[in-house]
Amino acid sequence: MRRTLAISTLAVAAVLLAAPAAFAADDYAADPNELINHYDDVSRYSTGTDLWRVWVCDTALDGSVGVVSEAVDILNGEIADVYDWLSEGMYDLQFEAGGTVSVPTEDGDDCIQAVLDASTPSAAAGVFIITDGPGWSGVASPGYTNQSLSPANRRYALVTYNGVFSYSIAVSAHELGHTIYWPHSYVGPSEYDNPIDVMSGGFGAYGTLAINRYAAGWVDPGQVTVIDGTVGAITLGPVGDPGTQLLIVPGDETGDYFALDVRVDHPYDSRAAAHGVTVHEVRHDCASTFFCAGTQREQIPKRPTGDSYGHVLTIGESAIVGKTRLEVVGASGGGYQVAFEPVYPDGFAMQNPNSGYWTLDDGYGFYYGIPADLPMACDWDGDGVSTPGLYRQSSGFLYLRQSNTFGVSDISIYFGIPEDIPICGDWNGDGTETIGIYRPSESTFYLRNSNTFGVADVQFTLGAAGDVPLAGDWDGDGIDTPAVFRADSGELIVRATNDPDWSPATHFLEPAIPAGAVVFAGDWDGDGTDTVGYHEAGTSWFSNVLGGAKDLSHVWGTDHNPVIGVWAIS
Ligand SMILES: [Ca+2]
Ligand SMILES: [Ca+2]
Ligand SMILES: [Ca+2]
Ligand SMILES: [Ca+2]
């Protein structure tokens, strides 16, 4: 039998037909935390009893249909139990027998129409339909908002036979999630690439995001903590924890934010790789979508890699979201302790290649290195402050210093050969920036995850002869990745990840950079995303947008090397 996991929702069309005048694009007023658009609409079925009538639909396909009474027992068993767990007892799913219909086609839409036509008004709020279609798939809709009972509300979930009568009845849980206005969470282009979410590709586990549980009314508004730009730490608990279950980092506007929650071992959520603190970006795209609530809410795993657990932070891992750096610092009270601090913007320093004198952006200076050393600055010890590093091309030695003062190197490492160009960054997202080199003759980056002697932890090719190597966090996920700047075409070619086997490269056009200028990268506005600038004739020009016009400037004397870093965190 062909196995498919093509799960989809028809929610939008059904809702739009109902009561368009009821939806204002900016209606967050019903939610005390102003996180969920149309909170009262999207939580209306998910507290208290939600009664369903179960039907089977015999199509022109010749697969198994199943027996209604057996389906009712399964749904009242494990599926109701799953939602009892997720809702902490607040959502009582109940299923009762409906009936059987036949349609002359193979089309699930015909089944939905036939069941709604055959239904009589009752206390049920939806119809649950099982077809004889192959594989594991389904569709669902929360229905009209101006009617609450079936069939007038046209609320339905439809799954294939295997979605109830096989080992993978998570398909049923998934479709029922849509009927309480839960969207898919995904990186894309597939909507099923988030392996931890039953509302995406997580069909081995029943867990879902705390923002879904909050939207359903199961996480109390008082169990939400919104980070306000301060330094601190909080204990984040899993389903059932009486304390904070949802941590919010604000984004740029109402309805756009980052949501963190905790996943721990549970019989219904036992996939070990999914345990930790999950990070998702939530967006209500009300500008381009008329109805941006519920199933139209965007929930995007950060870090943005499909089919991976990269957005599940374990102890010791960190991420930058919004203007906040987060780190999971330990386990606590059945959940995790999450520390947070603002992201500090980069500033300019300059290094005089003739004297080895460094001048920071506040005017303070010190001697470090000898003429001809190539300067860089990174946070070699993870304390938040950048300090100098020098690469002596003649010997292949890197000389790192841990303070911005006069003195000899604290760390010296042999890494590279005379032609190499040094770079540095946090290649693995652990909060410490480490060394790397670019070997122009091989167009290859060699990255190391510790500031110690040894071979590269990661290496891969990028770019072509003549390209200038750079490193930065181009997408704001807390992980620095290499890029190359190609002066003759003005292209900045950015690698998405440090996965040596495969990583897409994105091309940004940087036409504002003149040929021959020194190019550098940094985060000057402290939003966690690095962008580029150039230095020419004593002035540095930069933009806070990749590909943007270089209209910000920093002026100093000629004949100096610009060095970008976080020079102060006060
Ligand atoms: Ca440091
Ligand atoms: Ca690191
Ligand atoms: Ca990145
Ligand atoms: Ca920035």
Sorted by where each starts, the structural domains of the chain and their CATH numbers stand as 1-30+44-180 (3.40.390), 218-342 (no CATH), 347-565 (2.120.10)
Give the amino acid at 61. L
pLDDT tens figures, 259-296? 999 999 999 998 878 899 999 999 998 776 667 889 98
Using the mean position of ligand 3's atoms as its centre, give its distance from the Cα of residue 472 in Å: 7
What's the gap in Å between 268 CA and the centre of ligand 4? Answer: 40
Backbone torsion region of residue 270, taken as left when φ is above 0, otherwise alpha when ψ lies between -120 and 50, otherwise beta: alpha
From the CA of 472, which ligand is nearest? 3
Question: In this model, does residue 322 exceed pLDDT 90?
Answer: no
Instruction: State in Å: Cα 381 to ligand 2 middle.
Output: 9
Residue 8 has pLDDT above 60, yes or no: no
Q: What tens digit of pLDDT does each residue of 30-66 get?
A: 999 999 999 999 999 999 999 999 999 999 998 888 9
With a pLDDT cut of 90, the percent of the chain lying above it is: 74
Q: pLDDT (tens digit, 9 = 90+) per residue, 125-139?
A: 999 999 999 988 999
Task: Please name the residue that has the structure tokens 């020419």.
Answer: 536
Summarize pLDDT for 442-463 with one digit per residue, the tens: 999 999 999 999 999 999 999 9
Rounded-to-integer distance, Cα 541 and Cα 546, Å: 13
Q: What's the pLDDT band for 13 if we cut at 50, 70, 90? A: very low
Residue 524: nearest ligand to its CA? 4
Ligand 2 center–CA 94 separation, angstroms: 50
Give the mean model confidence (pLDDT) for residues 322-333.
91
pLDDT in the model for residue 555: 87
Query: Which bound ligand lies closest to the C-alpha atom of 526?
Result: 4
> Is 90 exceeded by the pLDDT of residue 205?
no
How many CA atoms lie less than 13 Å away from 138 in the CB half-sphere?
A: 31
d(CA 247, CA 319): 14
**CA separation for the pair 402, 429 (Å, rounded):** 20
Residues lying with their CB under 5 A of ligand 2, a single-atom ion: 426, 428, 430, 432
Question: What is the 322 CA–ligand 3 centroid distance (Å)?
Answer: 13
3-class SS string, 107-128: CHHHHHHHHHHHCCCCCCCEEE
Q: Is the pLDDT of residue 17 over 50?
A: no
- The confidence band for 393, taking pLDDT boundaries of 50, 70 and 90, is confident
Instruction: For 397-524, list the strands marked E by DSSP.
Output: 397-400, 411-414, 421-425, 434-439, 444-447, 458-461, 468-472, 481-486, 491-495, 505-509, 518-522
Give the mean pLDDT of the chain: 90
Closest ligand by atom to 543 CA = 4
| Distance from the alpha carbon of residue 378 to the mean position of ligand 1, in angstroms | 7
Q: Residue 327 carries which side chain, given as an amino acid letter?
A: E
Distance from Cα 186 to the centre of ligand 3, integer Å? 18
Ligand 2 midpoint to CA 224 (Å): 30
Note if the bond before 303 is cis, omega within 30 degrees: yes
